[in-house]
Amino acid sequence: MLSSQQQAAKCGLGSSKGYAPLERPDASIANESQHQRLIGFMEVTPRDELFDAVHYGRMTPEEAEAAAKRLGCAALAQSPDPSLFNPMGETWWTLPMAVAWIARRTHADVLDVWDRYRLECSDWHFREWRLGCDGPVHNGHFLESRKAATIWTLDISEIYCSAHGATPVGAISVRDAKAKLWKALGENALRATGINTESRQRVEIADYEWRDLEDIEENGHDVVRARVARPSSSPPISHSESGPVCSATPR
């Protein structure tokens, strides 16, 4: 059985204009729950109906989550129990984890950018979509797994918190936190490794290199590269493709 959520996932939801076709016998059918019954799928549950309502824009995600709670259903957007995750006990951290700790000094902020936790979370995202090649375009929200964190994730969070007056007391900017991290790495107070983009091997990044390195995001990963031209023997180093890179002991 394909649930309405699974069927919607086949409709090109990777981008806001992803209108991939999904064959159906009757394009006039108003929603997937009715469609499932007509073509002999199993009985649609109240939870399926809530997903349909959000997909088709009849309910907001907040309204659907409230309705699920009233019906005694589990939350539609899933997040694991934070108490089951302890990023502070990890020896190696990603760049976003290290920057988050320096900027805010809270377990919660480090957890929020720990990929092991994030990849078990799902969030609502607005999408325009259609069924079939020429069906009507619908506006709604769909659940998507949270992506791996990058420093840009922290930048976006900082902008949001600033706009809503939610910046924690005592927090410093992501830019200043990153500068502090670079300084610590340059002084060999912390060690870092990365995946060399040519050899595909993990290598340690020497402390003296950090004065010449800057970070960028490529394909959803943090990458550090030289600010000036480097010999071809020193290619960029990817920091997020294969996991944690900073050996950071919180103080």
pLDDT in tens, 113-123: 999 999 999 99
- Residues forming beta bridges with residue 124, ordered by sequence position: 143
Least confident of 129-138, 189-198, 216-225, 236-245: 236-245
Q: Tell me which residue of 169, 163, 190, 162 sits closest to 97, measured CA to CA.
A: 190
Phi, psi of 214 (to 5 degrees): -130, 160
Contact 135, 27 (CB under 8 A): yes
The pTM of this model reads 0.72
Radius of gyration of the chain (CA): 22
Structure token pair of residue 234 = 């020193």
All residues at 6 or more sequence positions from 156 whose CB lies less than 8 Å from its CB, including other chains? none
| pLDDT, mean of residues 75-79 | 94
Identify residue 130 by its one-letter amino acid code: R
How far apart CA 137 and CA 143 sit, in angstroms, is 18
How far apart CA 29 and CA 134 sit, in angstroms, is 14
Element (H, E) at 194: strand 191-196
Ranges of each domain in the chain? 4-76+122-145, 83-114+150-247
Q: What is the pLDDT of residue 23?
A: 33
| pLDDT, mean of residues 154-169 | 95
Q: Tell me which residue of 69, 63, 75, 54 sits closest to 122, measured CA to CA.
A: 75
Give the confidence band of 133 by pLDDT, cuts at 50, 70, 90. confident
Phi, psi of 146 (to 5 degrees): -65, 140
Helix 151-163 crosses helix 95-104 at what angle (to 10 degrees)?
Answer: 30
How far apart CA 196 and CA 134 sit, in angstroms, is 46
Chain center to CA of 156? 12
| pLDDT, mean of residues 168-196 | 95
Residue appearing with tokens 């010999």: 231
Contact 220, 119 (CB under 8 A): no
The total of other beta-carbon atoms located within 10 Å of residue 71's CB is 12
| pLDDT, mean of residues 72-81 | 94
How far apart CA 49 and CA 34 sit, in angstroms, is 10
Kindly tell me the sign of the dihedral angle through the C-alpha atoms of 176, 177, 182, 186.
Answer: positive
| pLDDT, mean of residues 98-102 | 97
